């Protein structure tokens, strides 16, 4: 098999359920790196079984987090790097497309779109999501957010890559399918909502403001208190989420509740101040 000159970096912690399905689809990549945060399950042995380089990351609570740390400290053989989570699975068509498009010298990065699953069902409606997770290592890095005093997430979850030059689009989608339980989903988003509440108050203080158009809309609606209701209406009705059946309703409801958590946690933090 001819390897493509792209380094795939998968950030993990206790991902034994998802990791095999992720790694088996990355065989065409020239270099495969797993950045682990002290997993206590079979994550490391699974990664080594697929021939991946396993690097341990022990976060000290300060910048850089996991992905920027990997860019700064890990030997990356190739100019192009693809960042994935363990519950993100590439397809042959996706790999073939990025193999060709990364040869174009006019682009330093690409935006990737995802095909979302929830509770085991493929969702065809509702809001999709994308991120610029494929870029030249010399032309991109994840944004730096001053969060030393309040963050407990050791990986860039909400931070966006800042990429110099032109950014293209990959048409073929990556599959986003988490095999973990709803308990894990709820726990994860509880942690995310705490981070977002702190981030909102930080932005109100005017620190390190780097917002995309969608972020500006989100924070404006959050400021009005209408974000949970607007999101549910948009995802379930305007974006036809109801056509995905009960799973479409559940996801729209969970995401609306996520934004409600952020709003109430903001109120709690303001009261403490």
Q: What is the value of pTM for the model shown?
A: 0.94
Residues 146 and 215 both lie in one domain: no
What is the C-alpha separation between 144 and 98, in angstroms, rounded? 27
Banded pLDDT at 209 (limits 50, 70, 90) = low
Across the range 132-151, mean pLDDT stands at: 91
CB proximity list for 183: less than 8 A, separation 6 or greater: none
Residues 19 and 49 both lie in one domain: yes
Residues 21 and 104 both lie in one domain: yes
**Confidence check: pLDDT of 65 > 80:** yes
Banded pLDDT at 207 (limits 50, 70, 90) = low
Q: What confidence score (pLDDT) does residue 147 get?
A: 83
**Confidence check: pLDDT of 9 > 90:** yes
pLDDT in tens, 125-135: 999 999 999 99
Across the range 174-193, mean pLDDT stands at: 97
> What average pLDDT is seen over the chain?
94
Residues 172 and 64 both lie in one domain: yes
Residues 204 and 245 both lie in one domain: yes
Residues 35 and 170 both lie in one domain: yes
CB proximity list for 96: less than 8 A, separation 6 or greater: 172
Write out the H or E segment, with its range, that includes residue 159: none
What is the C-alpha separation between 154 and 257, in angstroms, rounded? 24
What is the C-alpha separation between 77 and 72, in angstroms, rounded? 13
Banded pLDDT at 28 (limits 50, 70, 90) = very high
Residues 69 and 192 both lie in one domain: no
Residues 222 and 147 both lie in one domain: no
Residues 216 and 89 both lie in one domain: no
More confident of the two residues 204 and 16: 16
Q: Which of 77, 41, 78, 39 is nearest to 55 (CA)?
A: 39
Place of tokens 């390190």: 208
- Among 176, 204, 226, the domain-final residue is 176
CB proximity list for 77: less than 8 A, separation 6 or greater: 7, 30, 31
Banded pLDDT at 264 (limits 50, 70, 90) = very high
Are the CB atoms for 78 and 53 separated by under 8 Å?
Answer: no
What is the C-alpha separation between 213 and 233, in angstroms, rounded? 20
Residues 154 and 251 both lie in one domain: no
Q: Is the peptide bond before 64 cis (omega within 30 degrees of 0)?
A: yes
**Confidence check: pLDDT of 208 > 70:** no
Residues 115 and 218 both lie in one domain: no
- Among 121, 143, 176, the domain-final residue is 176
- How much of the chain exceeds pLDDT 90, in percent? 85
Name the 3-class secondary structure at 214: helix
Q: Which domain holds residue 109?
A: 4-176
- Among 176, 208, 235, the domain-final residue is 176
What's the CATH code of the domain at 108? 3.90.550.10
Instruction: State the CB neighbour count (10 A cutoff) for residue 188.
Output: 14
pLDDT in tens, 212-243: 777 788 888 988 999 999 999 999 999 999 99
Residues 203 and 230 both lie in one domain: yes
Q: Could you give the angle at which helices 213-224 and 182-204 cross, rounded to 10 degrees?
A: 90
| Structural domain count, the chain | 2
Across the range 49-62, mean pLDDT stands at: 96
């Amino acid at each position: 098999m001819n390897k493509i000159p792209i380094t795939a970096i998968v950030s993990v912690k206790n991902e034994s359920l998802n990791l095999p399905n992720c790694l088996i689809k990355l065989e065409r990549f020239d270099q495969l790196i797993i950045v682990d945060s002290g997993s206590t399950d079979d994550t490391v042995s699974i990664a080594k079984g697929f021939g991946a380089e396993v690097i341990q990351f022990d976060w000290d609570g300060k910048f850089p987090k996991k992905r920027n740390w990997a860019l700064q400290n890990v030997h990356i053989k190739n100019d192009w790097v693809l960042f994935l989570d363990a519950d993100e699975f590439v397809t042959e068509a996706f790999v073939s497309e990025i193999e060709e498009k990364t040869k174009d010298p006019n682009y330093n990065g690409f935006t990737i779109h995802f095909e979302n699953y929830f509770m085991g069902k493929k969702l065809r409606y509702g809001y999709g999501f994308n991120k610029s997770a494929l870029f030249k290592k010399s032309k991109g890095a994840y944004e730096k957010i001053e969060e030393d005093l309040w963050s407990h997430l050791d990986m860039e979850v909400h931070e966006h890559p800042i990429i110099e030059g032109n950014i293209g689009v990959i048409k073929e989608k990556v599959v986003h399918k988490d095999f973990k339980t709803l308990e894990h989903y709820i726990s994860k988003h509880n942690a995310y909502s705490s981070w977002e509440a702190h981030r909102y108050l930080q932005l109100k203080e005017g620190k390190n403001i780097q917002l995309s158009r969608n972020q500006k809309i989100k924070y404006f609606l959050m400021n009005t208190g209408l974000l949970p209701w607007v999101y549910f209406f948009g995802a379930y009705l305007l974006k036809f989420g109801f056509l995905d059946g009960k799973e479409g309703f559940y996801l729209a409801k969970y995401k609306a509740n996520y934004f409600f958590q952020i709003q109430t946690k903001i109120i709690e933090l303001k009261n403490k101040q």
